């Protein structure tokens, strides 16, 4: 089947996107890249629930549409200015994080299961949310379960559901989380804590794509993408016979590893600035900054709690000193950065330059994505519109004139 026929067969007649638009854009205006930008931006925000099936079909044919664009206009090297923005954002510009974000963008468009490994507080749930939001299942639900949240005895009922009267206390039928996530994504956090008996049941779901509620003989078909996360070393658990080897291989079609914050200290300044602006936006207070002395303390700390600990420290300082315009070193917890790692002034200057470059790049890409609309750009970046205008002036960034509001 020709690519055009393949594309058209994936759309419903009543609300198909007529591909003559592609030819028209190419031949008449040469603005095919703009068409693709609008096409992508349309999917996550403008499709109502009763058209979710259509949305998923359309998302599956995006690669074919890109093929059409490349065939018609080979001079177009990129269909979208910059890279697809992660939402929620995963802040960082170290080499390991840039590579991770690129991998997430690529893998999200497929339907493979994903295993995310990393210490507690590194941002595994943020990656899981992006795998869902950037993929074809975005219109459908993202269901989240932390395997440490409930006793093992209740986990089977929570995941698989049960029939009324199947056990003491089962007063009504209940749909399990796996069925609830059908068509969407199920994120199982701390999967290394799952009881071994449930691991066998989960393996069957991954292999056969079917579940059986407690007390029920029939099996039900499900269509779920699984994203797993753990702060444990699953390979060690396999060796110790505490985790099934077959399940480990089945669930780790793609593995992401998030390095701890102490191994990517260049990400600390942009993360601190991001959380500072996020807190200021939530509280409605004026924008704040971080002094060099305080940043030295941040950079010298080992951050055993990783990004979560850094965010808590920023929020603590703002809560204790709500009127302060600058976060001083004296406002930080006594244990932050005390005699752990020495940071020179030269290294601090380099890090500030790295923060500047990262902010300029993120602002520029967001402005291009939203066609110069400052309000939408500010909302996407998690800062106020006034804060965005200050940064535009500070860095000398000129937004596109179109829709610059």
Please give the full DSSP string across 165-180, using - where no structure is assigned: TSSTT--S-EE-HHHH
Entry pTM: 0.66
CA–CA distance from 338 to each of 154, 177, 330 (Å)?
44, 45, 12
| Residue 405 pLDDT greater than 50, yes or no | yes
Across residues 384-390, what is the average pLDDT? Answer: 82
Q: How many CB atoms lie within 10 A of CB 165?
A: 12
| Residue 246 pLDDT greater than 90, yes or no | yes
Contact 251, 200 (CB under 8 A): no
pLDDT at 257: 96
Percent of all residues in the chain with a pLDDT value above 70, rounded to a whole number: 73
Give the pLDDT band of residue 85 (cuts 50, 70, 90). low
Which is higher by pLDDT, 276 or 286?
Answer: 276
CA–CA distance from 378 to each of 200, 300, 388 (Å)?
47, 31, 6
**Pairing mode of beta strands 161-162, 114-118:** unpaired
Q: Which tokens belong to 62? A: 């995006």
Q: Kindly list the domain boundaries of the chain, sorted by start residue.
A: 3-72, 95-259, 263-395
Q: For the segment 171-211, what is each residue's pLDDT rounded down to a tens digit?
A: 888 899 999 999 999 999 999 999 999 999 999 999 999 99
pLDDT at 281: 77
Q: What does the mean pLDDT of the chain come to? A: 77
CA–CA distance from 318 to each of 38, 322, 335 (Å)?
39, 5, 17
| Residue 76 pLDDT greater than 50, yes or no | no
Across residues 216-228, what is the average pLDDT? Answer: 94
Residue length, the chain? 405
pLDDT at 51: 40
Across residues 292-314, what is the average pLDDT? Answer: 93
How far apart (Å, rounded) are the C-alpha atoms in residues 283 and 236? 44
Start-end of H helices in 109-241 = 124-133, 152-160, 177-180, 196-208, 234-239
How far apart (Å, rounded) are the C-alpha atoms in residues 405 and 62? 30
How far apart (Å, rounded) are the C-alpha atoms in residues 98 and 100? 5
* DSSP secondary structure code for residue 148 in this structure: T
**Pairing mode of beta strands 161-162, 326-327:** unpaired
Q: Is 184 left (phi over 0), alpha (psi -120 to 50) or beta?
A: beta
The whole-angstrom distance between residue 246's C-alpha and the CA centroid of its chain comes to 27
Region of poorest pLDDT, from 3-7, 55-59, 308-312: 3-7
| Residue 23 pLDDT greater than 70, yes or no | no
Strands (E), 266-378: 289-290, 326-327
Which residues make beta-bridge pairs with 290?
327
How far apart (Å, rounded) are the C-alpha atoms in residues 378 and 358? 15
Best mean pLDDT range from 42-51, 149-158, 348-357, 386-395: 149-158
Across residues 356-375, what is the average pLDDT? Answer: 80
CATH numeric code, 95-259? 3.40.50.300
pLDDT at 45: 34
How far apart (Å, rounded) are the C-alpha atoms in residues 338 and 177? 45
Contact 125, 187 (CB under 8 A): yes
Across residues 47-55, what is the average pLDDT? Answer: 40
| Residue 108 pLDDT greater than 70, yes or no | yes
How far apart (Å, rounded) are the C-alpha atoms in residues 123 and 140? 22
Give the pLDDT band of residue 263 (cuts 50, 70, 90). very high
> Domain 263-395 falls in which CATH fold?
Helicase, Ruva Protein; domain 3 (1.10.8)
| Residue 9 pLDDT greater than 50, yes or no | no
């Amino acid at each position: 089947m020709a690519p055009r026929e393949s594309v058209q067969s994936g759309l419903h007649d009543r609300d198909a996107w007529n591909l003559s638009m592609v030819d028209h854009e190419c031949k008449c205006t040469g603005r095919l890249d703009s068409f693709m930008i609008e096409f992508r931006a349309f999917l996550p925000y403008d499709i109502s629930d009763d058209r979710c099936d259509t949305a998923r079909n359309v998302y599956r044919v995006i690669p074919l549409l890109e093929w059409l664009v490349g065939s018609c206009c080979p001079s177009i090297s990129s269909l979208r200015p910059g890279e697809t923005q992660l939402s929620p954002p995963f802040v960082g510009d170290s080499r390991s994080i840039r590579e991770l974000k690129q991998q997430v963008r690529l893998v999200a468009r497929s339907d493979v299961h994903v295993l995310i490994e990393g210490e507690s507080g590194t941002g595994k749930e943020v990656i899981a949310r992006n795998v869902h939001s950037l993929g074809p299942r975005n219109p459908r639900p993202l269901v989240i379960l932390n395997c440490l949240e409930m006793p093992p005895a209740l986990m089977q009922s929570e995941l698989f559901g049960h029939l009324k009267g199947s056990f003491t206390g089962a007063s009504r039928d209940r749909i399990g989380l796996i069925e609830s996530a059908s068509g969407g994504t199920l994120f199982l956090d701390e999967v290394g804590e799952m009881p071994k008996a449930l691991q066998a049941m989960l393996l069957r779901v991954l292999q056969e794509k079917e579940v059986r509620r407690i007390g029920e003989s029939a099996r039900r078909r499900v269509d779920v993408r699984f994203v797993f996360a753990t702060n444990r070393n699953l390979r060690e658990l396999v060796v110790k016979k505490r985790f099934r080897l077959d399940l480990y291989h089945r669930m780790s079609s793609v593995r992401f590893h998030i390095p701890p914050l102490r191994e990517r200290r260049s990400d600390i300044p942009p993360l601190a600035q991001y959380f500072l602006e996020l807190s200021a936006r939530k509280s409605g207070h004026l924008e704040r900054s971080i002094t060099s002395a305080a940043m030295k303390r941040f950079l010298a700390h080992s951050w055993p709690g990783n990004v979560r600990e850094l965010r808590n420290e920023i929020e603590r300082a703002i809560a204790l000193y709500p009127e302060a315009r600058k976060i001083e070193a004296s406002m930080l917890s006594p244990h932050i950065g005390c005699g752990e790692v020495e940071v020179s002034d030269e290294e601090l200057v380099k890090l500030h330059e790295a923060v500047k470059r990262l902010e300029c790049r993120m602002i520029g890409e967001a402005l291009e994505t939203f066609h110069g609309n400052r309000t939408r750009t500010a909302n996407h970046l998690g800062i106020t519109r006034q804060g965005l205008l200050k940064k535009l002036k500070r860095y000398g960034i000129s937004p596109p004139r179109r829709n610059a509001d």
